[in-house]
A and B are shown apart, each in its own frame.
Chain A
Amino acid sequence: MDIKDIIKPENLVYKKTSLMQDKALSYCPGCGHGTAHRLLMEVIDELGIREDTIGVAPVGCSVLAYDFMDIDMQGAAHGRAPAVATGIKRCWEDKYVFTYQGDGDLAAIGTAETIHACNRGENITIIFINNGIYGMTGGQMAPTTLDGMRTSTSPYGRELGSMGHPIKMTELIAQLPGVHYVARHSVHTPRAVRRTKKAMFKAFEVQKERKGLSFIEIVSNCNSGWKMTPVKSNEWMEENMFLYFEPGDIKVDGKLVEKKKIK
């Protein structure tokens, strides 16, 4: 078979979504941010809602998300994305509005904005990239940094007594009645990618039906900040992050998912 046959439209199995710009990503090779971006853009593309979607970028490694996502976007101040999204959505309740935020952005400096946007049941979607560290500023301790985990500001490991506990923001906000759909996934394997994409479809569906806030945590790696190879970082994530930040649905159709009791 010659190359011309291979690239015939009927042989197409996978195509880059047109909503990702033709630019080299600024993320470190192996970082989960790029995959999360692509999935989000695929979902918006496949739903055909580009014309009605406004995204809000955070401050963190994904501060330039609008350089990669080819849709209308606003860059928020550090932690304020849910308030910015509220302002947008309240003015345009028929449009789809999402925020894309890291753990420092969403669970430290922006805690109040996150909790209250969730509590008001703003009809928006929050995509929360939890990599347990401040990637952008060079690997400092995040509110989600695990017990004993070394970062540049916890060089001997996070010490819970003086530095506090890793915060489970997703479980916290799932308690709020305004929040309709909450799930935690990852993007490090094909299977995880499929699940995350499905969750994103669901989140936008919830928004379309005006049922309240939808929140997807993506537990992700920061191979640079964790000082590991990409492969090793994904293994470490499965072995450590998943124990504390357990993947799966947390709230579906406005109801908390009952955890199966392990006997």
Chain B
Amino acid sequence: MKELKLLKGNEAIAEGAIRAGADAYFGYPITPQSEVMEYLMAERPEQRTGMIVLQAESEVAAINMLYGAAGTGKKALTSSSSPGISLMQEGLSYIAGAELPCLIVNVARGGPGLGTIQPSQADYFQATKGGGHGDYRLITIAPASVQEMFDFVALGFELAFKYRNPVMILSDGLIGQMMEKVELSEQKPRATEFDQSWATTGTPANREQNVITSLDLDAGQQEVHNKKLQAKYKKIVENEVRYEEFQTEDADYLFVAYGSSSRICQKAMELARNKGHKVGLLRLISLYPFPKDIVRELSFRVKSILCVEQSAGQMIEDVRLAAGCEIQIEHFGRMGGMIPIPEEVLEALEQKLIGE
């Protein structure tokens, strides 16, 4: 029997974490994602699965608690929203450097600064280009539904442990706050099947000490480590690209979008097709690795591309880099927490691409 539940996106993250067999959650309240910790605290996961939940004194503390927990080989996560994710960048850089598997959820809101508590996609650069200092990448996946908020927690842990790399779920206040029906999966065990011989557990007599660190004072050694990281990222790029195509087969025009914008584009595409415009949608799921090849392939097939983002245009830079030809690529977006409606997207399509 299917287990169905009506959940908010943020609650789906929390329930998804419990059912994915997470060992620990550390967080600090911030709108629009506070329901993650509220739901967890109310659910008593320490009784359901033994998972621990701790309210930290700041996002700085939360990300470093995550570092400690992940360094013991446990499945741990944190969640926050844009200003809090900014505070976590130091810790994220250390986590990436030390190659710790863990999950970070950003239910993004408008910025810069304290900005607004309304949804935004303006953290794309921060999430996909490293965010903190040094050469590193987070595997970044973008859910577009409450179901995916739930499912991507388990997916995120799997990718994190497979590559010993932090994974970010880049969502926004729209998906975090909206309610949809979710099909819940079965409870997974808290243990992972992945190799954990590197974790700090206390040193038994039969192995050498394990050390979790991102430090190498020797430049040559540090470069060796950098090369190892880059080789890992190359593997991720080769194996973990994820996207969805909607009606691209006959498309003259293409929307490229991710997360909540891709949902809006689906509706706009319907409106456009009703008017006779052959529009398709490329919905990106993995933002890092960026689905380069499909963008390139489609750029040869369509007349022009409209990138729809709730930002001044960030993803569009990667689309332009990936497109293989001198095709017209335009941006449409709202900022500051304003959510575009499908009619606006249709209008942008008609004005910018079709020329009506």
Q: Enumerate chain A interface residues (CB-CB to B < 8 A).
A: 49-54, 56-57, 63-64, 66, 70-77, 80, 83-92, 95-96, 112-113, 116
For residue B58, CB closer than 8 A to chain A, the reply is: yes
Q: A66-B211, A73-B200, A90-B65 are in contact. List 8 more A-B contacts (CB 8 A).
A: A51-B203, A51-B204, A66-B209, A72-B211, A73-B211, A75-B214, A76-B64, A95-B201
List the 6 shortest-distance A-B pairs measured between CB atoms, nearest first. Answer: A87-B68, A83-B64, A87-B65, A75-B213, A84-B68, A87-B69
Q: Pick the contact of B213 from A74, A88, A91, A96 — CB < 8 Å?
A: A74
Q: CA of A77 to CA of B67 in the docked complex: distance in angstroms? A: 10
B71 near A84: Cβ-Cβ < 8 Å: yes
With A72-B200, A73-B211, A76-B67 already in contact, the answer to whether A113 and B61 are too (CB < 8 A) is yes
A56 near B68: Cβ-Cβ < 8 Å: yes
- Stretch of B12-20, B49-57, B180-188, B260-268 contacting A (4+ beta carbons < 8 Å): B49-57
B72 near A73: Cβ-Cβ < 8 Å: no
**Which of chain A's residues have a CB closer than 8 A to the CB of B90?**
77
For residue B355, CB closer than 8 A to chain A, the reply is: no
B68 near A70: Cβ-Cβ < 8 Å: no
In the complex, which residue of chain B has the Cβ closest to the Cβ of A63? B215
Q: CA of A153 to CA of B342 in the docked complex: distance in angstroms? A: 59
B60 near A87: Cβ-Cβ < 8 Å: no
**Which of chain A's residues have a CB closer than 8 A to the CB of B52?**
90-91
**Which of chain B's residues have a CB closer than 8 A to the CB of A86?**
54, 61, 65, 68
A71 near B64: Cβ-Cβ < 8 Å: no
**Which of chain B's residues have a CB closer than 8 A to the CB of A92?**
72, 201
Contact with A along B54-89 (1 / 0, CB 8 A): 101110111011111111101010000000000000
Residue among B54, B212, B215 with the most chain A CB within 10 A? B212
**Which of chain B's residues have a CB closer than 8 A to the CB of A57?**
213
B209 near A91: Cβ-Cβ < 8 Å: no
For residue B94, CB closer than 8 A to chain A, the reply is: yes
In the complex, which residue of chain A has the Cβ closest to the Cβ of B72? A91
In the complex, which residue of chain B has the Cβ closest to the Cβ of A71? B203
* B67 nearest CB across to chain A (Å): 5
With A73-B209, A87-B69, A90-B24 already in contact, the answer to whether A113 and B200 are too (CB < 8 A) is no
Q: CA of A89 to CA of B204 in the docked complex: distance in angstroms? A: 18
In the complex, which residue of chain A has the Cβ closest to the Cβ of B56? A83
For residue B222, CB closer than 8 A to chain A, the reply is: no
* A69 nearest CB across to chain B (Å): 8
A87 near B212: Cβ-Cβ < 8 Å: no
A54 near B204: Cβ-Cβ < 8 Å: no
**Which of chain A's residues have a CB closer than 8 A to the CB of B215?**
63-64, 75
Chain B interface residue count, CB cutoff 8 Å, equals 40
For residue B26, CB closer than 8 A to chain A, the reply is: yes
Q: CA of A150 to CA of B76 in the docked complex: distance in angstroms? A: 45
B213 near A112: Cβ-Cβ < 8 Å: no
24 contacts between A and B (CB under 8 A): A54-B72, A63-B215, A66-B213, A72-B202, A72-B203, A73-B200, A74-B68, A74-B200, A75-B98, A75-B213, A76-B64, A77-B67, A77-B91, A77-B94, A83-B62, A83-B67, A84-B64, A87-B68, A87-B71, A90-B54, A91-B68, A95-B201, A112-B60, A116-B61
**Which of chain A's residues have a CB closer than 8 A to the CB of B58?**
112
A54 near B64: Cβ-Cβ < 8 Å: no
Q: CA of A163 to CA of B1 in the docked complex: distance in angstroms? A: 67
**Which of chain A's residues have a CB closer than 8 A to the CB of B56?**
83, 116
Q: Pick the contact of A88 from B57, B71, B91 — CB < 8 Å?
A: B71
Residue among B54, B58, B68, B217 with the most chain A CB within 10 A? B68
**Which of chain A's residues have a CB closer than 8 A to the CB of B200?**
54, 72-74, 88
A87 near B76: Cβ-Cβ < 8 Å: yes
A88 near B68: Cβ-Cβ < 8 Å: yes
* A240 nearest CB across to chain B (Å): 32
Contact with A along B22-54 (1 / 0, CB 8 A): 011010000000000000000000000000101
* A25 nearest CB across to chain B (Å): 15
**Which of chain A's residues have a CB closer than 8 A to the CB of B202?**
49-54, 71-72, 95-96
Q: Pick the contact of A80 from B24, B61, B210 — CB < 8 Å?
A: B61
For residue B205, CB closer than 8 A to chain A, the reply is: yes
Q: Pick the contact of A75 from B57, B61, B203, B212 — CB < 8 Å?
A: B212
Q: CA of A76 to CA of B209 in the docked complex: distance in angstroms? A: 17
Q: Pick the contact of A85 from B57, B68, B74 — CB < 8 Å?
A: B68
* B317 nearest CB across to chain A (Å): 30
* A50 nearest CB across to chain B (Å): 6
* A126 nearest CB across to chain B (Å): 14
A74 near B60: Cβ-Cβ < 8 Å: no
A70 near B209: Cβ-Cβ < 8 Å: yes
Q: Which of B288-318 contact A (CB under 8 A)?
A: none
